[in-house]
Amino acid sequence: MEADTQAHVAFFLTGRRPSEHLDAVDGLGLRPALFASYRDLTQLRYDFPLVLVDGRADGLFAQSLSGIIDSALASVAQGSDGERIRKHVLRLEQAIRELATGGASGSLFALWDKASSQFTKGVDQSFEDSLRRTRAAIKVNGAVVDCDTALPARLLQHAWAAVQQQKAEGFRKELDRLVLKLSDILKADYERSAAGRSAQHLQAAVGTGFGDAFDFDAMSRMLSKALPTDVFPESRRKRIGGLLDALSAQQFISSPAASATKTDAAKPYPFLFDSCADALAAFRERSPKQIALAKAIAIAGLEIDGQYSESRHDALFEQFGANGLDPQDLAQFPDYLVCVNAEKMQAVEHAHLMEILASGLPIKVLLQIDDILEESPNGESKLTSGMRSRQIANMAIGLNEVYVLQSSSSNLFRFRERLLRGLTYRGSALFSVFSGASAKSSGLPPYLMSAAAMESRAFPAFTYDPSAGPNWASRFYLGANSQVDLDWPIQAFTYEDEQHQRVSQDMAFTLVDFVASDHRYARHLARVPREKWNGSMIPVDESLTRERKGLPDKVPSLLMVDADNVLQKVIVDERLIREARRCREMWHSLQELGGIHNSHAEKLLAREKKTWEERLQHETEAREATVPGAGVSAAPSASPAPAATSAPVEQEPERSPDEAYIETPRCSTCNECTTLNNKLFSYDANKQAYIADIQAGSYAQLVEAAESCQVSIIHPGKPRNLQEPGLDELLKRAAAFQ
Ligand code: SF4
């Protein structure tokens, strides 16, 4: 027992596994115990597959297969036949789900027919009747898509196309209206001109049928005398002609009328890109034409209303768009959509992405992330989760005017309204989506991996919508994550023990569960044979609440199941626990942004509570003092309230230049230093960092923290240990922060 515990502790600290005490996890096909009931997703009714519904640009642009079937059954499965129809149709639903999971593509009705053909042999007529009646009750159709690697792009492109089509229809109607009105103005002008009143023109207008019935010469003379002869100045005629050319030749939306009349009509521009650089280049190249079209629309409106004044407007429109178009003008035009994969992005593309987001241009970017776990390049085998995507999303939020949506694929259906909001947002938008594709290496479905990433806080879902209101409370939404006020969501887990008794227990789903489902990181885990299970193995979430002092006497462990759903216990190394702590700190920061456990609010609450308790105490004492016979003198009269004074300004203490310190009141609680070493750096009651124990870290860590502090308030001072390696270099780096 003692030797086993020592082996567990050694593995925890070093990641080295003595084979006589611990088994390697590789090849055992283990998965977190909470995955046990999700072994075959086709047996479950859940959000997927989805149907990308044709012709919808509202929240029903995507619907779940189960939802569509339920709606149809609600109208069909009634009366004595009801149960029979429900049973038959649910069998078919499962067959469609199996087809989608197996990679079959097609519309809902195509897959319906394909799945129902599998049942034709040996089924009675009642089965066919159930399917026929339910199929007739389904009023939507569209491509069926499963939660796979392609889902983020397919779903977003589908929603974007629907939104753009709706937008283009409005734009096209407006352009057609302007063209018609301007043409009418020119026509009316011509009718008033000498040429328009000529006998020849009048005859052509009447046509050959009645050509002999009129004296067109007489009619022309009469009209010339009877009607006013004022025609446009040539400049106006030319201007309107130019406007008509600009409106008809535009390539921003397709115009069926232009294509029908002109065989050489230029093709409409594409707005879907797979590179930020290409999208930006296209935007810039088209910009002069976009400005010209927006200018033509503005002038056309004035012309039609008879408001255009050359003396006033010519000079004004000369400068139109000199500084680019304003958001209102831009909003008429189609939005760009760029779909990029984070793994394939080079530094240049990354820079272009940031340029798009900072520009506020109407370019929406889908950043698909297929793998959120990576070994950090900065530390020896240090594991990080979602670091790159987190940095991009944080930077986008920091720009204040970008719509940001982060979500796992598994949650995209639930975020469909928010997807639409981002696509219709006037500025740039970032959709950062984890696809779950890394599940392939572990033989898991992408749905399960992406759901686990969200559940474990490795990739939490949130949105930041700058148009939703003036403050964080209205702009930032974190509520899609389960049990959002907890560090880790708790789920009930039920299993049968060796005595065949049903046992139920609550289990936290942590980052360690997520990493444990990825077989590439199996080296951070070791299986403990059942006979060696002992009391030193504690759940990961419990271990995360303990601060280690000296050698640990407990090691974190995880319940997993093997391919036969037999319960196994694995222990976890300290690197994984460190990353879980880091993940929890990041989650805390998000919680604060979402107003959960907000440190400012909690501080205010504590202050108010203290004031209230003091007042209560004071009143109680005063009451007791005035009770007759209490044997004490009357309460002294209340002393006058002190005049309001401003809070004393905290003076920074005098410091030696050799001393390391943090300007604590300026700390923005970004967690960088505390994550690096939470003994050296700690938070005070205001959740602002200070140096808690200078002995608990090295000078190198002080310098590293100073370099990563976002507000440069960590001052490393001078090294205490003059034997520390690399001091010359460290002192040079530290000089910038003294
Ligand atoms: S790195 Fe700087 S801002 Fe961040 S917690 Fe530490 S002291 Fe505060």
Give the Å distance between the CA of 725 and the centre of ligand 1.
25
The reply to whether ligand 1 has any atom less than 6 angstroms from the CB of 662 is yes
pLDDT confidence band for 200 (50 / 70 / 90) = confident
| 704 and 689 Cβ atoms separated by less than 8 Å | no
Cα-to-chain-centroid distance, residue 131? 38
Question: To test the ligand 1 pocket, which listed residue (582, 682, 714, 715) has its Cβ within 8 A of the most ligand atoms?
Answer: 714
Nearest to 44 by CA among 97, 96, 89, 88: 97
> What HEC string does 286-350 produce?
HHHHHHHHHHHHHHHHHHHCCCCCHHHHHHHHHCCCCCCCCHHHHCCCCCEEEEEEHHHCCHHHH
The reply to whether ligand 1 has any atom less than 6 angstroms from the CB of 672 is yes
Give the Å distance between the CA of 667 and the centre of ligand 1.
5
Residue with the two structure tokens 């959002």: 484
**Does the structure show a pLDDT above 70 at 196?**
no
Say whether 735 sits in a helix, a strand or coil: helix
Question: To test the ligand 1 pocket, which listed residue (671, 680, 702) has its Cβ within 8 A of the most ligand atoms?
Answer: 671
Listed range (3-7, 113-117, 610-614, 700-704) with the worst mean pLDDT: 610-614
**Does the structure show a pLDDT above 80 at 711?**
no
Give the Å distance between the CA of 690 and the centre of ligand 1.
9
Give the Å distance between the CA of 280 and the centre of ligand 1.
36
Number of residues written out for the chain = 738
Give the Å distance between the CA of 689 and the centre of ligand 1.
6
Give the Å distance between the CA of 346 and the centre of ligand 1.
30
**Does the structure show a pLDDT above 70 at 202?**
no
The reply to whether ligand 1 has any atom less than 6 angstroms from the CB of 704 is no
Could you identify the atom of ligand 1 that is nearest to the CA of residue 672? 1
Give the Å distance between the CA of 669 and the centre of ligand 1.
5
C-alpha distances out from residue 710 to 357, 422, 559, 704, 718, Å = 21, 29, 39, 12, 21
Give the Å distance between the CA of 578 and the centre of ligand 1.
18
Nearest to 337 by CA among 155, 166, 188, 186: 155
Q: Specify the DSSP element, H or E, that contains 368.
A: strand 363-369
Give the Å distance between the CA of 485 and the centre of ligand 1.
24
Give the Å distance between the CA of 687 and the centre of ligand 1.
10
Q: Domains in the chain, start-ordered, CATH in brackets? A: 2-40+487-593 (no CATH), 49-146 (no CATH), 328-477 (3.40.50.970), 654-738 (3.30.70.20)
Between helices 276-304 and 234-249, what is the axis angle to 10°? Answer: 140
Say whether 84 sits in a helix, a strand or coil: helix
* Structure tokens given for 77: 């499965």
Q: What is the mean pLDDT of the chain?
A: 87
**Does the structure show a pLDDT above 90 at 314?**
yes
Tally of CB atoms within 10 A around 4: 20
Could you identify the atom of ligand 1 that is nearest to the CA of residue 712? 2
What span, in angstroms and rounded, lies between the C-alpha atoms of 127 and 80? 15
Could you identify the atom of ligand 1 that is nearest to the CA of residue 669? 5
Listed range (25-39, 370-384, 537-551) with the worst mean pLDDT: 370-384
DSSP-H helix ranges across 145-215: 151-192, 199-206
Say whether 96 sits in a helix, a strand or coil: helix
pLDDT at 38: 87
Listed range (50-64, 151-165, 509-523, 666-680) with the worst mean pLDDT: 666-680
pLDDT at 191: 79
Name the DSSP letter for residue 193. S
Could you identify the atom of ligand 1 that is nearest to the CA of residue 662? 7
**Does the structure show a pLDDT above 70 at 470?**
yes
pLDDT at 625: 76
What span, in angstroms and rounded, lies between the C-alpha atoms of 250 and 266? 8
- Which residue, judged by its Cα, is nearest atom 2 of ligand 1? 709
Burial class (CB in 10 A: 0-12, 13-18, 19+), 609: exposed
Give the Å distance between the CA of 691 and the centre of ligand 1.
11
Give the Å distance between the CA of 378 and the centre of ligand 1.
19
Give the Å distance between the CA of 684 and the centre of ligand 1.
12
Could you identify the atom of ligand 1 that is nearest to the CA of residue 667? 8
DSSP 495-531: EE-TTS-EEEEEEE--HHHHHHTSGGGGGGEEEEPGG
- Which residue, judged by its Cα, is nearest atom 4 of ligand 1? 670
What span, in angstroms and rounded, lies between the C-alpha atoms of 44 and 241? 64
**Does the structure show a pLDDT above 90 at 136?**
yes
What span, in angstroms and rounded, lies between the C-alpha atoms of 677 and 693? 10
**Does the structure show a pLDDT above 70 at 263?**
no
* Structure tokens given for 71: 């709606």
Question: To test the ligand 1 pocket, which listed residue (661, 673, 686, 710) has its Cβ within 8 A of the most ligand atoms?
Answer: 673
The reply to whether ligand 1 has any atom less than 6 angstroms from the CB of 709 is yes
The reply to whether ligand 1 has any atom less than 6 angstroms from the CB of 670 is yes
The reply to whether ligand 1 has any atom less than 6 angstroms from the CB of 706 is no
Give the Å distance between the CA of 710 and the centre of ligand 1.
7
pLDDT confidence band for 1 (50 / 70 / 90) = low
Say whether 557 sits in a helix, a strand or coil: strand
pLDDT confidence band for 599 (50 / 70 / 90) = confident
**Does the structure show a pLDDT above 90 at 120?**
no
Name the DSSP letter for residue 464. E
Question: To test the ligand 1 pocket, which listed residue (588, 589, 666, 674) has its Cβ within 8 A of the most ligand atoms?
Answer: 674
Give every CB contact of residue 508 below 8 A, 6+ residues apart in sequence.
Answer: 487, 488, 489, 490, 539, 540, 541
The reply to whether ligand 1 has any atom less than 6 angstroms from the CB of 691 is no
Q: Where are the strands (E) in 97-161, listed by range?
A: 142-145
- Which residue, judged by its Cα, is nearest atom 6 of ligand 1? 673
Largest interatomic CA distance in the chain? 129
Could you identify the atom of ligand 1 that is nearest to the CA of residue 709? 1
Q: What percent of the chain has pLDDT over 70?
A: 88
Give the Å distance between the CA of 610 and the centre of ligand 1.
28
Give the Å distance between the CA of 405 and the centre of ligand 1.
26
* Structure tokens given for 722: 């003059």
Burial class (CB in 10 A: 0-12, 13-18, 19+), 620: exposed
The reply to whether ligand 1 has any atom less than 6 angstroms from the CB of 300 is no
Question: To test the ligand 1 pocket, which listed residue (663, 677, 710, 715) has its Cβ within 8 A of the most ligand atoms?
Answer: 710
What span, in angstroms and rounded, lies between the C-alpha atoms of 507 and 491? 5
- Which residue, judged by its Cα, is nearest atom 8 of ligand 1? 667
**Does the structure show a pLDDT above 90 at 685?**
no
DSSP 654-709: P--TTS-EE-GGG-----HHHHH-TTTEEE-TTS-EEES-GGGS-HHHHHHHHHH-
Could you identify the atom of ligand 1 that is nearest to the CA of residue 668? 3
Q: Can you tell me the mean pLDDT for 691-696?
A: 91
Listed range (179-183, 596-600, 657-661) with the worst mean pLDDT: 596-600
Q: Can you tell me the mean pLDDT for 22-28?
A: 91
The per-residue pLDDT for range 612-666, each reduced to its tens digit, is 888 888 888 887 776 554 443 333 333 333 333 333 444 556 778 789 999 888 8
Name the DSSP letter for residue 634. P
The reply to whether ligand 1 has any atom less than 6 angstroms from the CB of 669 is yes
Given its phi and psi angles, is residue 509 left (phi above 0), alpha (psi -120 to 50 degrees) or beta?
Answer: beta
The per-residue pLDDT for range 523-552, each reduced to its tens digit, is 999 999 999 998 899 999 999 998 877 888
Q: Can you tell me the mean pLDDT for 236-263?
A: 83
Give the Å distance between the CA of 678 and the centre of ligand 1.
12
- Which residue, judged by its Cα, is nearest atom 1 of ligand 1? 709
Give the Å distance between the CA of 42 and the centre of ligand 1.
47
* Structure tokens given for 634: 């009357």
C-alpha distances out from residue 684 to 89, 675, 702, Å = 60, 15, 18
pLDDT at 259: 56
What span, in angstroms and rounded, lies between the C-alpha atoms of 594 and 631? 55
pLDDT confidence band for 414 (50 / 70 / 90) = very high
Question: Which string of b and e fits 361-370 if b means at least 16 CB within 10 Å?
Answer: bbbbbbbbbb
Name the DSSP letter for residue 107. B
Question: To test the ligand 1 pocket, which listed residue (585, 672, 690) has its Cβ within 8 A of the most ligand atoms?
Answer: 672
What span, in angstroms and rounded, lies between the C-alpha atoms of 725 and 738? 20
Does the CA dihedral 232-235-241-244 come out positive or negative? negative
pLDDT at 226: 63
Q: Can you tell me the mean pLDDT for 705-710?
A: 83
pLDDT at 597: 82
Tally of CB atoms within 10 A around 663: 16
Give the Å distance between the CA of 657 and the centre of ligand 1.
20
